[in-house]
């Protein structure tokens, strides 16, 4: 019954074999082995940190209070709200688009397809479930029982999510249209995130706060949750919470048995609902495929969908007319048409970074300037990786782009410039706001220098990113096979980019220092003039570095063989 | 009768119960009507050519017959099984090759056939699978995964999977796109032979020469409506008045008269017109 159709079991088995084969094939090259090892090292470090945190926490850190029952109930409730919010947007049952035609025309019942999908989801969530369980287990009374309880709760929630998305599918467009309206979904996600963050703070607050602050926060949350209304609201999660906080095996078993029975029941109820989810699934698959493609091309911050109303707007030509300017215009159009969501998310992230930089670096003249530099640096790295309005997004069109009647250097510059200007604008806004809020008496000249050099730095950083991409064109989107390799490759590429940027900045610093000493010691022109010389030389060197990077990018673009590597 | 008849003997449509029967089929996407009240039947061993301009409703019709899209109105029967009420049995009798076959990225050619065999509950399939792989020139690609196959190879793999399950009804949407001349020739021969063995084939294509060469009858669609259903010779006589007009001329004549329902017979419930 629960196993489903034999053909679909064969498919699952063959896909597992295929995944392992693909992983093994990646290990045939030295770079594949290196990236796999790097990825493995990263993961080991991460998991090790989680486990040692648990094992050594009591000896080396402050004693941690186990989470109370009501707190765990509330955590589960918050997680359920967040998880089910996703079901509102993705009705039906998700199948990768390339599997739809085969599976929907196959001689199997829809119930079998649901079972197959749920089994695949369950297998895929094993890893995430284990990690999450390891994370939370440090707050539970018994590590092993806590782990098992958390894991069972998470996979039950995954099944519940599938049931809800099928019920919504059955209820039709009207109900899901009402519940899934943009405002309602935003509210639900907002509520879920708030609840979640609040509870995480209460549970893990002592990592960020002093012990007494953490205890107060914890106690405050518990008091709020013990109120009659909230206690009733979170009570449906009682069995799973009891199972997670159980301190003895007998206690665990008494709750785990009914909870374990609920899971297959949910499985079968979901599979037997008899909902015709084909239409909704085709729609969902299309939406998810487009989103994954955009994530893999334009990056997480540039993956907004362009609606008809937005596309109907005429785009300005900010750089004037001409071949290279036309290229810049296309990029500008792309940015503007995806700008709303991108800008909102970017503003949110930059706001958090700005706020964080205010805490991390002590305020004062040097501190304020240091904070500005932190904001600028994090902003450039984050936005540069997240917004890809350049060759990383346009790789599929590179064959066509290479035929355009523009020199490769100009083409490279025109492609990168609008994105660099946008990133500079966002970072400059964040720094400007921070400077206004802090209001410390730091040097206006230093601030002007930071703001003035931002576009050149942004251009240089994105140029390095694109140069690396043109040398090793690799794309990765969530859900793809090879996450371990990608993590290793990402780490190696980040290291490479940092080295290139450090060399570039060293050259700039060297030029500025040489100019300063030449003016101050050699020509004895005085401190102020020597500083002006240093600034001019530094700016000149920065411009020279950016120009060199653009030139290198142009050469790489010119020599790039579109038939060689496909990301 | 049109080309391809030398390779096989088509059973008389009237004498055979339709392998595929479509009655009053309609389908819309929101406000847009994709197909409006379409009826036709295809007999065992017959090839029906489905032609029409872009957006005519050809792919929607084929995907609905294949069970990919749910039914909205009308009845579709595959080998006597209603696709809405007896879905699994209907699907067990048909094979569907979409216009752009997308194999499983991480499965090899051999594994695709293994999966197909398990899906259709086939026994003793390996020998036949080997023969099909050889026939469609995939021998050297047996251990290549779906993601690494070229467009033409993907098409050939889809052919192999469809042929392996020996369908009563075969639906094909632009089956020759991406194939090289040898592949096209092999595919045409394979389609004709499959039909000769008793499979009803529905072939949708913009390549009118292909339809002209293989199809016993043609169904011309435009804007979701059937404009003509019958043999090419009937079309020539009734629509162009010339006995030697090409399908292209017939097509242009009919689709030039948009909205005209001339030539669409009201088929019987068992597809007698097939």
| Alpha-carbon distance A117 to nearest alpha carbon in chain B (angstroms) | 15
Locate tokens 């009804």: which residue? B169
Pick A101's closest partner by Cβ from B94, B98, B114.
B98
Same domain, A268 and A359: no
Which range marks the domain in which residue A172 is found?
Answer: 66-294
**Does residue A145 belong to any structural domain of this protein?**
yes
Same domain, A205 and A127: yes
Residue A337: is its pLDDT beyond 50? yes
Q: Torsion over CA of A360, A366, A372 and A373, rounded to 10 degrees?
A: -90
Low-confidence winner among A50-64, B147-161, B230-244, B260-274 (lowest mean pLDDT): B260-274
Locate tokens 């109120």: which residue? A227
Would strands B169-173 and B94-97 be described as parallel, antiparallel, or unpaired? Answer: parallel
Same domain, A287 and A372: no
Same domain, A275 and A421: no
Is A98–B105 a contact, with Cβ atoms under 8 angstroms apart?
yes
Annotate A145-197 with DSSP letters as a single string. HHHHHHHHHHHHHHHHHHHHHHHHHHHHHHHHHHHT-HHHHHHHHHHHHHHHH
**Does residue A278 belong to any structural domain of this protein?**
yes
Given CB atoms, is A276 within the 8 Å cutoff of chain B?
Answer: yes
Same domain, A259 and A381: no
Same domain, A393 and A519: yes
Is B106–A18 a contact, with Cβ atoms under 8 angstroms apart?
yes
**Does residue A372 belong to any structural domain of this protein?**
yes
Is A10–B102 a contact, with Cβ atoms under 8 angstroms apart?
no
**Does residue A7 belong to any structural domain of this protein?**
no
Euclidean distance between CA atoms A524 and B203, whole angstroms: 89
Taking a C-beta distance cutoff of 8 angstroms, is the pair A12, A120 a contact? yes
Euclidean distance between CA atoms A528 and A526, whole angstroms: 6
- Best of A6, A9, A11, A275 to disrupt the B interface (most B CBs within 10 Å) is A11
pLDDT band at residue A551 using 50, 70 and 90 as cut-offs = very high
The tokens for A407 are: 């020199």
Given CB atoms, is A282 within the 8 Å cutoff of chain B?
Answer: yes
Over the stretch A123-158, which tens digit does the pLDDT of each residue have?
A: 877 777 777 777 777 677 777 888 888 888 888 888
Taking a C-beta distance cutoff of 8 angstroms, is the pair A37, A26 a contact? no
Same domain, A289 and A424: no
Number of domains in chain A: 2
Q: How many CB atoms lie within 10 A of CB A210?
A: 11
CA distances from A144 to A156, A259, A541 (A): 18, 17, 59
Choice between A341 and A31, residue whose per-residue pLDDT is larger:
A31
Dihedrals phi, psi of B203, to nearest 5 degrees: -120, 115
Over the stretch B19-51, which tens digit does the pLDDT of each residue have?
A: 999 999 999 888 888 999 999 999 999 999 999
pLDDT, average across residues B48-71? 91
Boundary of a domain, candidates A246, A270, A294: A294
B residues 142-161 near A, CB within 8 Å?
145
Over the stretch A482-540, which tens digit does the pLDDT of each residue have?
A: 666 677 777 777 777 788 778 888 888 888 888 888 887 777 777 778 888 888 888 88
Over the stretch A148-195, which tens digit does the pLDDT of each residue have?
A: 888 888 888 888 888 888 888 877 655 655 655 566 666 666 666 666
**Does residue A266 belong to any structural domain of this protein?**
yes
Is A10–B87 a contact, with Cβ atoms under 8 angstroms apart?
no
| Alpha-carbon distance B120 to nearest alpha carbon in chain A (angstroms) | 7
- The reported pLDDT for the residue numbered B269 is 35
Same domain, A255 and A349: no
| Alpha-carbon distance A503 to nearest alpha carbon in chain B (angstroms) | 40
| Alpha-carbon distance A24 to nearest alpha carbon in chain B (angstroms) | 12
Choice between A320 and B54, residue whose per-residue pLDDT is larger:
B54
In this prediction, what percent of chain B has a pLDDT beyond 90? 47
- Which chain A residues are Cβ-neighbours of B88 within 8 angstroms? 107-109
**Does residue A100 belong to any structural domain of this protein?**
yes
Is A8–B119 a contact, with Cβ atoms under 8 angstroms apart?
yes
Euclidean distance between CA atoms B269 and B274, whole angstroms: 11
Given CB atoms, is A18 within the 8 Å cutoff of chain B?
Answer: yes
Chain pair A-B, CB pairs under 8 angstroms: 87
ipTM of the complex: 0.72
| Alpha-carbon distance B11 to nearest alpha carbon in chain A (angstroms) | 27
Locate tokens 């006597």: which residue? B80
| Domains of chain B listed by start with CATH number | 1-93+167-274 (3.40.50.300), 101-159 (no CATH)
Same domain, A281 and A411: no
- The reported pLDDT for the residue numbered A2 is 59
Given CB atoms, is B122 within the 8 Å cutoff of chain A?
Answer: no
Euclidean distance between CA atoms A114 and A96, whole angstroms: 13
pLDDT band at residue A204 using 50, 70 and 90 as cut-offs = low
Would strands B217-222 and B225-230 be described as parallel, antiparallel, or unpaired? Answer: antiparallel
Indicate left, alpha or beta for A439 from its phi (over 0: left) and psi (-120 to 50: alpha): left
Taking a C-beta distance cutoff of 8 angstroms, is the pair A203, A48 a contact? no
Is B106–A278 a contact, with Cβ atoms under 8 angstroms apart?
no
**Does residue A61 belong to any structural domain of this protein?**
no
CA A97 to chain CA mean position, Å = 23
Given CB atoms, is B98 within the 8 Å cutoff of chain A?
Answer: yes
* Residue of A28, A30, A222, A12 lying closest to A108 (CA atoms): A12
Boundary of a domain, candidates A240, A270, A294: A294
Dihedrals phi, psi of B4, to nearest 5 degrees: 85, -10
Residue B272: is its pLDDT beyond 50? no
Annotate chain B with DSSP letters as a single string. --TTTTS--PPPGGGS-EEEEEEEEEEEETTEEEEEEEEEEEETT-EEEEE-STTSSHHHHHHHHHTSSPP-EEEEEETTEETTTSHHHHHHTEEEE-SS----TTSBHHHHHHHHHHHTT-SS-HHHHHHHHHHTT-GGGTT-BGGG--HHHHHHHHHHHHHHT--SEEEEESTTTT--HHHHHHHHHHHHHHHHTT-EEEEE-S-HHHHHHH-SEEEEEETTEEEEEE-HHHHIIIIIS-TT--HHHHHHHHHHSTT--TT-----TT-TT-
Same domain, A192 and A334: no
- The reported pLDDT for the residue numbered B270 is 37
Same domain, A552 and A430: yes
DSSP bridge pairs for A216: none
Pick B68's closest partner by Cβ from A5, A14, A278.
A278
**Does residue A429 belong to any structural domain of this protein?**
yes
Residue A84: is its pLDDT beyond 70? yes
* Residue of B18, B62, B22 lying closest to B38 (CA atoms): B22
* Residue of B232, B239, B236, B233 lying closest to B263 (CA atoms): B239
Same domain, A154 and A290: yes
The tokens for A106 are: 């196959």
Q: Give the 3-state DSSP-derived string for A473-524, with helices as H, strands as E and coil as C.
A: CCCCCCCCCCHHHHHHHHHHHHHHHHHHHHHHHHHHHHHHHHHHHHHHHHCC
Over the stretch A434-471, which tens digit does the pLDDT of each residue have?
A: 777 766 555 777 788 888 888 988 888 888 888 888 88
Spell A160-194 as b/e; 16+ CB within 10 A means b.
Answer: bbbbbbbbbbbeeeeebeebbeeeeeeebbeebee
């Amino acid at each position: 019954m629960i196993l489903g159709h034999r053909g679909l079991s064969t498919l699952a088995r063959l896909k597992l074999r295929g995944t392992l084969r693909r992983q093994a094939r990646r290990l045939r090259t030295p770079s594949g082995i290196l990236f796999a090892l790097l990825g493995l090292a990263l993961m080991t470090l991460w998991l090790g940190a989680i486990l040692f945190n648990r094992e050594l926490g009591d000896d080396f850190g402050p004693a941690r209070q186990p989470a109370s029952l009501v707190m765990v109930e509330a955590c589960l409730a918050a997680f359920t709200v967040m998880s089910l919010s996703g079901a509102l947007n993705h009705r039906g049952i998700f199948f990768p688009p390339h599997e739809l035609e085969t599976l929907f025309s196959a001689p199997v019942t829809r119930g079998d397809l649901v079972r197959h999908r749920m089994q695949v989801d369950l297998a895929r969530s094993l890893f995430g479930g284990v990690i999450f369980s390891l994370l939370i287990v440090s707050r539970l009374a018994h590590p092993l029982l806590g782990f098992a309880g958390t894991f069972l709760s998470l996979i039950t929630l995954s099944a519940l999510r599938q049931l809800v998305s099928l019920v919504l599918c059955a209820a039709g467009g009207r109900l899901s249209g009402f519940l899934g309206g943009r405002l309602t979904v935003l509210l639900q996600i907002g509520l879920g995130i708030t609840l979640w963050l609040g509870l995480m703070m209460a549970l893990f607050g002592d990592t960020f706060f002093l012990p007494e602050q953490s205890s107060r926060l914890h106690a405050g949350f518990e008091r709020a949750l013990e109120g009659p209304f909230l206690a009733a609201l979170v009570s449906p999660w009682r069995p799973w919470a009891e199972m997670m906080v159980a301190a003895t095996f007998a206690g665990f078993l008494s709750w785990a048995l009914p909870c374990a029975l609920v899971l297959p029941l949910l499985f079968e109820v979901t599979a037997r609902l008899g909902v015709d989810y084909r239409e909704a699934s085709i729609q969902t698959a299309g939406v998810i495929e487009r989103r994954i493609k955009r994530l893999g091309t334009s990056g997480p911050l540039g993956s907004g969908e362009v609606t008809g109303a937005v596309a109907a707007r005429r785009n300005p030509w900010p750089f004037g007319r001409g071949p290279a300017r036309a290229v810049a215009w296309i990029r500008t159009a792309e940015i503007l048409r995806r700008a709303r969501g991108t800008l909102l998310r970017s503003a949110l992230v930059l706001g958090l970074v700005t706020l964080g930089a205010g805490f991390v670096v002590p305020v004062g003249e040097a501190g304020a300037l240091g904070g500005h530099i932190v904001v600028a640096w994090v902003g450039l790295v984050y936005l540069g990786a997240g917004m890809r309005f350049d060759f990383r997004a346009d790789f599929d069109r590179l064959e066509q782009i290479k035929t355009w009647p523009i020199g490769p250097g100009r083409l490279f510059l025109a492609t990168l410039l609008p994105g660099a200007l946008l990133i500079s604008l966002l970072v400059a806004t964040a720094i400007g706001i921070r400077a206004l809020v802090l209001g410390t008496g730091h040097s206006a000249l230093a601030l002007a220098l930071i703001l003035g050099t931002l576009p050149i730095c942004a251009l240089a950083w994105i140029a390095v990113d694109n140069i690396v991409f043109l040398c090793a064109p690799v794309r990765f989107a969530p859900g793809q096979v090879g996450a371990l390799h990608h993590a290793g490759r990402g780490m190696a590429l980040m290291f490479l980019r940092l080295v290139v940027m450090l060399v570039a900045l060293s050259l700039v610093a060297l030029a500025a220092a040489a100019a300063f000493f030449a003016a101050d010691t050699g020509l004895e022109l005085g401190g102020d003039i020597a500083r002006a010389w240093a600034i001019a030389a530094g700016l000149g060197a920065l411009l020279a570095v950016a120009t060199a990077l653009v030139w290198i990018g142009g050469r790489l673009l010119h020599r790039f063989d579109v038939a060689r590597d496909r990301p | 009768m049109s080309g391809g008849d030398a390779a096989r003997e088509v059973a008389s449509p009237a004498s055979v119960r339709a392998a595929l029967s479509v009655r009053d089929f309609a389908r819309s996407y929101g406000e847009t009507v994709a197909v409006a009240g379409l009826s036709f039947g295809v007999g065992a061993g017959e090839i029906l050519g489905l032609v029409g301009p872009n957006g005519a409703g050809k792919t929607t019709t084929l995907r609905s017959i294949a069970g990919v899209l749910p039914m909205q109105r009308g009845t579709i029967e595959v080998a006597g099984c209603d696709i809405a009420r007896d879905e699994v049995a209907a699907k067990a009798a048909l094979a569907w090759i979409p216009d752009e076959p997308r194999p499983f990225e991480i499965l090899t050619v051999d594994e695709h056939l293994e999966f197909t065999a398990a899906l259709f509950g086939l026994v003793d399939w390996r020998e036949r699978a080997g023969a099909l792989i050889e026939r469609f020139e995939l021998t050297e690609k047996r251990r290549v995964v779906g993601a690494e196959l070229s467009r033409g190879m993907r098409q050939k793999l889809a052919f192999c999977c469809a042929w392996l399950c020996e369908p009563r009804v075969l639906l094909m949407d632009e089956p020759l796109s991406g194939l090289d001349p040898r592949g096209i020739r092999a595919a045409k021969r394979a389609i004709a032979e499959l039909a000769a063995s008793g499979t009803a084939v529905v072939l949708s294509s913009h390549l009118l020469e292909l339809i002209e060469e293989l199809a016993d009858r043609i169904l011309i669609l435009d804007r979701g409506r059937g404009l003509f259903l019958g043999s090419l010779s009937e079309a020539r006589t009734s629509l162009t008045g010339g006995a030697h007009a090409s399908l292209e001329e017939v097509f242009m004549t009919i689709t030039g008269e948009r909205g005209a329902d001339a030539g669409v017979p009201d088929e019987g419930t068992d597809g007698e017109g097939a």
